[in-house]
Amino acid sequence: MKAKRLFYDRMDYPDGAIIEMVIWAVPSPVAGSRHSLKYSLFYGQDGQRLLGYDNERGKGDHRHVEGREEAYAFTTPEALIADFLADVRRVRGE
């Protein structure tokens, strides 16, 4: 089995910020993760990442918030997206 894209969405804000989210099903877990999904959720502006969730090979599930990298407890794709969007709203001051 090859990787298969399960979800993709992009949103452009009027102030130039963007959200881009992609989730892939992969044949086996990415090193450091216990599930068979690979994901990258990005929020940024002016070429800078302000917030990101991903499971980069070897690092496992984690998020980038305000210049810090911290572990993220992945449960489901739906919870992942909900947590990310809640953090986006917080970062945007909404």
From first to last of its 94 residues, what are the pLDDT tens digits of the chain? 789 999 999 999 999 999 999 999 999 999 999 999 999 999 999 989 999 999 988 899 999 998 899 999 999 999 999 999 999 999 999 9
The closest of 25, 28, 73 to 53, measured between CA atoms, is 73
Query: Is the distance from CB of 80 to CB of 61 less than 8 angstroms?
Result: no
Domain of residue 53 covers: 4-92
Q: How far apart are CA 18 and CA 79, in angstroms?
A: 20
Tokens 């130039």 correspond to what residue? 16
Taking the complete model, does pTM exceed 0.95, yes or no? no
* Exposure on the CB side of residue 52, measured as CA atoms within 13 A: 16
Query: Is the distance from CB of 56 to CB of 42 less than 8 angstroms?
Result: no
Query: What pLDDT does 57 receive?
Result: 85
How many domains does the chain divide into?
Answer: 1
Q: How far apart are CA 36 and CA 42, in angstroms?
A: 20
